[in-house]
Amino acid sequence: MTWLITGGAGYIGAHVVAETQKSGRNVVILDDLSTGLESRVPDSATLVNIAITDQKAVRKLFADHEIHGVLHLAARKQVGESIERPDYYWSENVHGLQVLLDAMSEANVRKLVFSSSAAVYGQPEITGDAMITETTTCKPINPYGATKLVGEWYAQAKTVSDGMSVAALRYFNVAGAGRPEFGDVFTFNLVPLIFDAITHDRAPRIYGDNYPTPDGTCIRDYIHVQDLAEAHVAAMDLVDSRDASFEAINIGTGRGSSVREVIDMVIDVTGLTITPEIIERRIGDPAALVADVSKARATLDWTSRYDLHDIVDSAWKAWQLKG
């Protein structure tokens, strides 16, 4: 059985490709290599190097390969860039999905796992230690989050019109590496940002230490990319077992770590002396964002296995390989 993995040459995609193959499924990858790396694509998978927005090429891909289902990861993911270039984000993330869904309908492919994001929640109004559930109001605060929420709505509409079965996985903060060569090569997220700072002899930055959290710094839910990849296999099983169904599912650990705790873990793992610089809060940073993962447990029979030490340790090994 062949699954199409869009964005399979990317950071998360490479891990998902490996786990999908391990589960016995055949893989075709659609990737334009804009942020992905060909070196992450295994010889055992077919790479189709096209843009997701190229309707003719995407339709041809479905005509050339017998695709059973799709894991759709190909997208732009930088919040700041999405604020500067909303048209580009709507074109890549929303029109790209439109081209894909259209080609799926034409080819009668009805199974979809969609890479969504905790960004759909925006700044949720939660108090104290409350966690974010899938019924927490979705109110994205940037174009990136909006494209993910619209993507969910669009895919959900296809469950009614075409009988598609869809799982939208709302990833929380993805970090770590399942293999050193699959590490995140960009510096947009906290762990690589800390590594980048210490590698260049700069102090890592903490944006505000006066939040209503135990140590004053923001709390997020860091999920190991290997755990996340395994959740995709469970999601493929879920969409395979259902017809005309939509589920949005939080993928996190259910545990929060503060920025200071992450920096302390980097100190622990690297053995380096690190003194962070405290600067102004960033606009739109909620104090704490932690996933309630009970739905993932119930619907996917999946829970995370790795902790913050595993995440930082594996990410550091991958970072060193980067050179």
Ligand X SMILES: NC(=O)c1ccc[n+]([C@@H]2O[C@H](COP(=O)([O-])OP(=O)(O)OC[C@H]3O[C@@H](n4cnc5c(N)ncnc54)[C@H](O)[C@@H]3O)[C@@H](O)[C@H]2O)c1
Binding residues vs ligand X (CB under 6 A): 7, 9-13, 31-36, 51-53, 73-75, 77, 92, 96, 115, 117, 171, 173-174, 189
Which tokens sit at 143? Answer: 């174009």
Compute the least distance from the CB of residue 271 to ligand X, in Å: 26
Which tokens sit at 219? Answer: 């709390």
Compute the least distance from the CB of residue 228 to ligand X, in Å: 9
Evaluate whether 314 touches 178 at the Cβ level (below 8 Å): yes
Evaluate whether 48 touches 30 at the Cβ level (below 8 Å): yes
Compute the least distance from the CB of residue 117 to ligand X, in Å: 4
Evaluate whether 69 touches 240 at the Cβ level (below 8 Å): yes
Asked whether the CA dihedral 194, 196, 201, 205 is positive or negative, the reply is negative
The residue from 11, 121, 144, 222 that is catalytic is 144
Distant-in-sequence, close-in-space partners of 130: CB < 8 Å, separation ≥ 6: none
Compute the least distance from the CB of residue 229 to ligand X, in Å: 11
Of all helices (H) and strands (E), which one includes residue 55?
Answer: helix 55-64
Catalytic residue list contains 144: yes
Which tokens sit at 223? Answer: 């999920």
Please state, as a whole number, how many other Cβ atoms lie within 10 Å of the Cβ of residue 277: 10
3-state helix, strand, coil in the chain (%, to 5): 45, 20, 40
The residues annotated as belonging to the active site are 144
